[in-house]
């Protein structure tokens, strides 16, 4: 087994891993290596072309995990995660939406000193340059982010329609949500291509002599030593398998930073002997740190949606989504010659983050209190025994505060000018005719799942096997109650939001009955790709895996920095949040290690 030694070993060359690689290698005295399981796809046209992102969902650039069957859901649930240099920022749908101030303050209130919204926002702004209309730019961060204005008929109708029913337009990067917006995208307006962690953070510094990048390498464990039962474990290096199948190790002088994502980071901790003692002993793994909270608190947004028929005399993207040859040829020509059209964008930027007004009346508040009381009696609502009573109570308190505040958004709504198969016969089905769709996302779920290894064999670490992912979607009864009401609310506002309604065919409401709506949700609900929480940042006694400096409890020089440390789900797409977290982490890692 060959061996080298570095000051810092970063496991995972994804979004946060490459931010750290850039910022920490600014010090020429630090020798840094990044170990990434995937390959460098920065020259791949499908990676760079914005509208081609759906083609990456079943590519080698995706881990394509699967959950165990979900008793409350009908669909088979796939768990995409980026398996390429740049991680999920190389395969995602570009949306660059920050979270609410209340959410970040919620993290802080769990006991995470230093994670107030002011510190988070400062770090986030360090990550990007915002390109606004008319050539106006703000900031000077590496990531290039484009912010458009409502230009199409449908974008204007969505914004104006929601304003007409009481929801004024909001700034998606302000931390103050509660209305419609056109979401920024991580697209470079100069090249019309994806801007992501690889070409934004890594490419400008690839030539630094103190930075080594290894792709096609899968870490099998962190090499830990413990001098006595009372001492913290010390990482001496990591063990990994290279693309030719040979085994290697990399020694470490200062720190190991795990940035492998919400699924693979707990996997690496457990393979290294950090996790629940019962599980590790059952698999024959020496227990270095007994912490049963590793891999727990998996959170994600679930969504369903509604489809409405559009009038015959308005344009939609249905022909392009059906891959009609003429529509595809036009799209390719528009993108190739002008950098415009459906290939120049994710086609998902028309959004809204909204409260649920029915909970803000006297009757609604009373009903909400009853729902919380009933959920407390439900044996499945907090049946995960690894969730501490303290965190379960804090989680409920946070979600209740959002539900009852008229200025806070509890749902994320994505509008698209085309058919989406929420209730279709298959995910690939595209209906004939013209349509618009609204995806309806539960922003603050109370359901919590888990991810744990099922094998200690190193042969699985480069594959989607050897893991048990149980997302437990809708296991908390309040999630179904809220999402069903969001569906009913969406149908109601769409039916009266002028001028949006004038471009739709007559529509008969389907969801006046809540029981019918719940059945629809159970049948059609799917998961977004916004996984967080499996190495949560909070006090160990509350269920934490890392402290407020992202140091793994029980280890003196191991940190985790990625979406897995987020203890409460962000309000919408988490891409911007992860860049902000990584920038903030880089600042205090420098303080601690330099």
Q: What is the per-residue pLDDT across 243-292, written as a single tens digit (0 to 9) for each?
A: 889 999 999 999 999 999 999 999 999 999 999 999 999 999 999 999 99
252: left (phi over 0), alpha (psi -120 to 50) or beta: beta
Q: The tokens 């008793």 sit on which residue?
A: 71
Q: Which pTM does this prediction carry?
A: 0.96
pLDDT in tens, 80-113: 899 999 999 999 999 999 999 999 999 999 999 9
Half-sphere exposure of 330 (CA within 13 A, CB side): 11
pLDDT band at residue 531 using 50, 70 and 90 as cut-offs: very high
pLDDT in tens, 331-377: 999 999 999 999 999 999 999 999 999 999 999 999 999 998 887 76
pLDDT band at residue 76 using 50, 70 and 90 as cut-offs: confident
Q: The tokens 């359901």 sit on which residue?
A: 447
Percent share of the chain, pLDDT over 90: 88
Q: Is 521 annotated as a binding residue?
A: no
* Residue 379 pLDDT exceeds 60: no
Residue 186 near residue 381, CB atoms below 8 Å: no
Q: What are the two backbone dihedrals, phi and then psi, of residue 74, each rounded to the nearest 5 degrees? A: -90, -40
* Residue 383 pLDDT exceeds 60: no
* Residue 225 pLDDT exceeds 90: yes
Beta carbons within 8 Å of 179's beta carbon, 6+ residues apart: 162, 163, 167, 168, 169, 170, 352, 353, 354
Position 59 scores a pLDDT of 85
Half-sphere exposure of 299 (CA within 13 A, CB side): 27
Residue in 222, 238, 216 with CA at minimum distance from that of residue 1: 238
Q: Is 575 annotated as a binding residue?
A: yes
User: What is the C-alpha separation between 110 and 429, in angstroms, rounded?
Assistant: 44
* Mean pLDDT of all residues in 37-63: 91
Q: What is the DSSP string of 191-205?
A: TTEE--HIIIIIGGG
Position 77 scores a pLDDT of 84
pLDDT in tens, 104-131: 999 999 999 999 999 999 999 999 999 9
Number of other residues whose CB lies within 10 A of the CB of residue 390: 15
Position 593 scores a pLDDT of 78
Q: Is 219 annotated as a binding residue?
A: yes
pLDDT band at residue 134 using 50, 70 and 90 as cut-offs: confident
* Residue 384 pLDDT exceeds 90: no
Position 392 scores a pLDDT of 95
Q: What domains does the chain contain, in order, with CATH numbers? A: 1-67+78-101+197-299+451-474+530-594 (3.50.50.60), 151-183+302-442+476-524 (3.30.560.10)
User: What is the C-alpha separation between 2 and 239, in angstroms, rounded?
Assistant: 10
């Amino acid at each position: 087994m060959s061996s080298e030694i570095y000051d810092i070993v970063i496991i995972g060359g994804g979004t946060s891993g490459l931010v750290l690689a850039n910022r920490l290698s600014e010090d020429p005295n630090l020798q840094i290596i990044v170990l990434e399981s995937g390959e460098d796809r920065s020259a791949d046209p499908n990676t760079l072309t914005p509208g081609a992102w759906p083609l990456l969902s079943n590519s080698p650039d995706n881990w394509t995990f699967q959950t165990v069957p979900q008793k409350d859901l009908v669909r088979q649930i796939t768990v995409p995660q980026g398996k390429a240099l740049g991680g999920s920022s190389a395969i995602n749908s570009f949306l660059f939406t920050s979270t609410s101030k209340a959410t970040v303050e919620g993290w802080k209130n769990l006991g995470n000193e230093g994670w107030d919204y002011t510190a988070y926002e400062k770090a986030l702004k360090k990550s990007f340059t915002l390109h606004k209309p008319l050539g106006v730019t703000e900031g000077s961060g590496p990531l290039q982010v484009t912010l458009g204005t409502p230009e199409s008929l449908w974008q204007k109708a969505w914004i104006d329609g929601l304003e007409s029913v009481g929801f004024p337009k909001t700034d998606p990067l302000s931390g103050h949500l509660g209305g419609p917006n056109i979401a920024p995208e991580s697209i470079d307006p100069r090249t019309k291509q994806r801007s992501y962690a690889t070409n934004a953070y890594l490419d400008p510094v690839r030539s630094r002599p103190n930075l080594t990048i290894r792709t096609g390498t899968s870490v099998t464990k962190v090499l830990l030593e413990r001098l006595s039962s009372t001492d913290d474990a010390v990482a001496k290096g990591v063990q990994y398998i290279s693309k030719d199948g040979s085994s290697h190790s990399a020694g470490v002088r200062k720190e190991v930073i795990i940035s492998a994502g919400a699924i693979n980071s707990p996997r690496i901790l457990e393979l290294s002997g950090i996790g629940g003692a019962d599980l590790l002993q059952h698999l024959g793994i020496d227990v270095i740190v007994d912490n049963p909270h590793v891999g727990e608190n998996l959170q994600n947004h679930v969504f369903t949606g509604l489809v409405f028929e559009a009038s015959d005399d308005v344009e939609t993207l249905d022909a392009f989504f059906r891959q009609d040859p003429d529509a595809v040829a036009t799209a390719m020509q528009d993108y190739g010659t002008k950098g415009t059209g459906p290939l120049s964008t994710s086609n998902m930027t028309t959004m809204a983050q909204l409260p649920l007004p029915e909970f803000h009346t006297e009757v609604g508040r009373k009903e909400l209190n009853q729902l919380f009381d009933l959920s407390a009696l439900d044996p499945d609502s907090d049946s995960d025994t690894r969730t501490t009573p303290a965190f379960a109570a804090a989680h409920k308190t946070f979600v209740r505060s959002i539900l009852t505040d008229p200025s806070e958004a509890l749902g994320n709504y994505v509008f698209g000018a085309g058919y989406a198969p929420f209730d279709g016969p298959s995910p690939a089905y595209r209906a004939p005719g013209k349509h618009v769709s609204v995806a309806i996302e539960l922003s603050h779920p109370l359901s919590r799942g888990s991810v744990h290894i099922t094998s200690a064999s190193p042969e699985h670490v480069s594959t989607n096997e050897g893991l048990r992912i149980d997302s437990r979607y809708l296991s908390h009864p309040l999630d179904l109650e809220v999402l069903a009401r969001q569906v009913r609310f969406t149908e109601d506002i769409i039916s009266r939001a002028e001028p949006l309604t004038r471009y739709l065919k007559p529509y008969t409401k389907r969801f006046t009955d809540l029981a019918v709506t719940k059945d629809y949700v159970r049948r059609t609900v799917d998961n977004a790709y916004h996984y967080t929480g499996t190495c949560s940042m909070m006090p160990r006694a509350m269920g934490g895996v890392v402290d407020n400096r992202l140091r793994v409890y029980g280890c003196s020089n191991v940190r985790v920095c990625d979406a897995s440390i987020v203890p409460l789900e962000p309000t919408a797409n988490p891409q911007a949040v992860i860049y902000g977290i990584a920038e903030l982490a880089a600042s205090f890692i420098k303080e601690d290690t330099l």
